[in-house]
Amino acid sequence: MDGKSELDKPTQTEQENAEGKKLLELSEDDGEAQRKVERKKKFGKEAREWVILIACTLLAVFLVRTYVFEPIVVDGPSMNDTLYTGDRVFVTKFDYLFGEPERGTVVICHYPNSKENYIKRLVGLPGDTIEIRDGVTYLNGEALDESFIAHPTNRDYGPITLGDDEYFVMGDNRNMSTDSRKTEIGMVDTRLILGKAYMVIYPLSEFRVIK
């Protein structure tokens, strides 16, 4: 006697239904797998887009800070009473991409063998003769009108004539500034002049164009 009666055997319809169910399950599994693959592709695409966006943003910031403008914070008394510690200064850099530094402007520069930023006033240009005598600065034999100087120097200097591509810088607080008068610093060249200090942007009560 068979273990199963004819009644226990699945009918053709039941077999077809079972096979259809298996095919449906396989189809659903394939669909879910496909959706996972698509989600991974979408995530990968979005991740690449974010990486590209961040890289472009960082590059733009670098280019702007290097060639257009940069905010800096004054640290130290060397530019008193023109600038004070904590002043936020807007520095433009494109000025010297296409033009030469101008006498009398306040600039951001590096000193030879230093990567630090210094903020000083550009006093002498190539070919100028600089002398400081009795607290007065002489440019090519003529006394400069430096009414912005609240703290004139008590040390004489020069005379010295600047060579090609040599610029003479000093802080407005002449007795508290380490600048071109120091032998270990000397003159700076155009490569070391980074930008022009254009205006004070903070604190807001001191907002002004720098002269």
Q: Active-site positions?
A: 78, 120
Is 86:73 a contact under the CB 8 Å cutoff? yes
CA atoms within 13 A on the CB side of 112: 14
Is 73:88 a contact under the CB 8 Å cutoff? yes
Residues 6+ apart with CB under 8 A from 115: none
Residues 6+ apart with CB under 8 A from 18: 10
Is 114:182 a contact under the CB 8 Å cutoff? no
